[in-house]
Structure 1
Amino acid sequence: MSISKNIELLNNSLPKNVKLVAVSKTKPVSDILEAYNAGQRIFGENKIQEMVEKHEVLPKDIEWHMIGHLQRNKVKYMASFVTLIHGVDSFKTLKEINKQAIKNDRVLNCLLQLKIAKEDTKFGLSFNKVEDIITSEDFKQLSNVNIKGIMGMASFTDDETIIRKEFKTLTDYFNALKKHSSINFNPTIISMGMSGDYKIAIEEGSTMVRVGSAIFGTRNYK
């Protein structure tokens, strides 16, 4: 099935309150353009250099989301254009994002990544650590960072019971953190769910899904 048809089917099946991030990492510009021409505007990349190169040649109304693990020393390369940074998992990274946002006269939207999977390979903060960060005086000084919500990745397993439980945990965390809303913590987004589990994620409260292979086909690893 074509990329444009996949986009159409996905958008028709998603609830109105759920945003679709088309995960375009490793995919050529031609594939992204096909999705763009089908109406998709939000694309997710996991390598900053690749995202920068694509941003330079693709339409400027695209919303670029950084969905990969973030290296602080590379924030500066995307600070002028990135729309949402998904995987923030340390206060040091937040400080660097704020620093680069100031340099570009922007407020950068971010999601804090929580660890909900049992796997050691998954990055993320504990619930208590997130609470400590967003209630700290140091966080309140980050005037050019806006935390829009949280994200998480479920375990890589075929056991839907485990996946559902982990997604439910993230939604519970989100609901518990909302009471701490502030000038730079405005939680509206729960980013969870990928090609293999986004339907479960939506049932458990996701408002943003990151879908790659179900749009573009099997990923090209590199």
Structure 2
Amino acid sequence: MIAEKLNTIKSNLPQNVTLIAVSKTKPEEDIMEAYRAGHRDFGENKVQEMTAKYENLPKDIRWHMIGHVQRNKVKYMAPFVHMIHGVDSLKLLKEIEKQAKKQDRVINCLLQIHIAREESKFGLDEEELKELLASEAFSQMKYVHIKGLMGMATFTDKQEVVQSEFSYLKQLFESLKKDQESWPHLSMEVLSMGMSGDYELAVECGSTMVRIGSSIFGERNYQ
């Protein structure tokens, strides 16, 4: 069932769009079903849960940290995480740099931009983004590589609201892409936006990475 849903979604996505199967709260056997269907990119929103799954599951899985990251948890995922999606401050980026250096590996990151009208969502605004990129600390980093931007749209049925938020993020992404030579470890390759409820619209607006959970694995169990 999981494999079937996964393959249906994948077959309808353009080739340039990467699907992150969001496996948070889901058991390892569900992940293995998707894995046996050929899928390798999985997303978790809790470091502890992701680390436990990493220990037990095949080592060629690419783990994506898609949730809000606390700085004191970075060290646990630094040895293996493939990409951290929710980088929303220079302080967090400095911690990732520090822990990546200890592991002697470069960690791919996305800068999370606040595009939603909800205050509860995390992310940098445009001003904070520019400050981060212009900072001396960022210019000296060697162990983090910013691969693009991530954003979460407002949770609403109003398509025009979601579309305008996605379009804004795409515009910001393109303007950074034009100037990316200015920053040595910035390469605008990934625009991560779109989840189960709005990924089709996100793809229309230029997303290159979608994070889909319930449409693949069914509703989450938060017990």
* Preserved CA contact (<8 Å) 1:79 1:101: yes
Structure 1 residues without counterparts, runs of 5 or longer: none
Query: Are 1:135 and 1:180, in contact at CA under 8 Å, matched by a contact in 2?
Result: no
**Larger deviation, residues 129-138 vs 106-115:** 129-138
Contact 1:109 1:145 in 2 (8 A): yes
Matched, 1:22 2:21: yes
Alignment RMSD: 0.8
SS of 1:168's equivalent in the other structure is helix
- Secondary structure, counterpart of 2:9 in structure 1: helix
Q: Give the Cα–Cα distance (whole angstroms) in 2 for the partners of residues 128 and 172 of structure 1.
A: 15
Paired with 1:31 and 1:220, the residues of 2 have a C-alpha distance of 13
Query: For the Cα contact (< 8 Å) 1:149–1:186, is it kept in 2?
Result: yes
Residue 50 of structure 1: aligned partner: 49
Aligned-partner residue type, residue 202 of structure 1: V
**In the alignment, which residue of structure 2 is the partner of 1:214?**
215
Q: What is the alpha-carbon distance in structure 2 between the residues aligned to residue 132 and residue 179 of structure 1?
A: 18
- The alpha-carbon deviation at position 131 of structure 1 amounts to 1.7
User: Residue in 1 aligned with 2:173?
Assistant: 174
Deviation at 1:219, TM superposition (A): 1.1
Give the CA deviation at 1:133: 1.2
Structure 1 residue 156: Cα displacement: 0.5
| 2:128 corresponds to | 129
Read off the aligned partner of 2:43 and give its amino acid letter.
G
CA separation in 2, counterparts of 1:23 and 1:148?
A: 20
Identity %: 58
The match for 1:194 is: 195
Q: Does the Cα contact within 8 Å between 1:131 and 1:177 map onto a contact in 2?
A: no
Residue type matched to 1:69 in 2? Answer: H
Give the ranges of 4+ consecutive aligned residues of structure 1 lying more than 3 Å apart after TM superposition. none
Verify the 8 A CA contact 1:146 1:184 in the aligned structure 2. Answer: yes
- What does 1:45-124 correspond to in 2, within 5 Å? 45-124=44-123
Q: Helix, strand or coil: the match of 2:79?
A: coil
How many residues align? The count is: 221
State TM-score, norm by structure 1. Answer: 0.98
The residue type equivalent to 1:201 in the other structure is: A
Deviations 1:30-85 (A, max 9, x none): 00000001111000000000000000010000000000000000000000000000
SS of 2:69's equivalent in the other structure is coil
Provide the C-alpha distance between the structure 2 equivalents of 1:26 and 1:185, rounded to a whole number of angstroms.
32
Counterpart CA distance in 2 for 1:103 and 1:66 is: 19
Partner Cα distance (1:22, 1:111) in 2: 17
- Secondary structure of 2:42's match? strand
**Unpaired runs of 5+ in structure 2?**
none
TM-score (norm 2): 0.97
CA distances 1:173-212 after superposition (whole Å, capped 9, x unpaired): 1011123322211111000000000000000000000000
Any conservation in 2 of the 1:42–1:64 contact (CA below 8 Å)? yes
Equivalent-residue separation in structure 2 for 1:14 and 1:3 (angstroms): 17
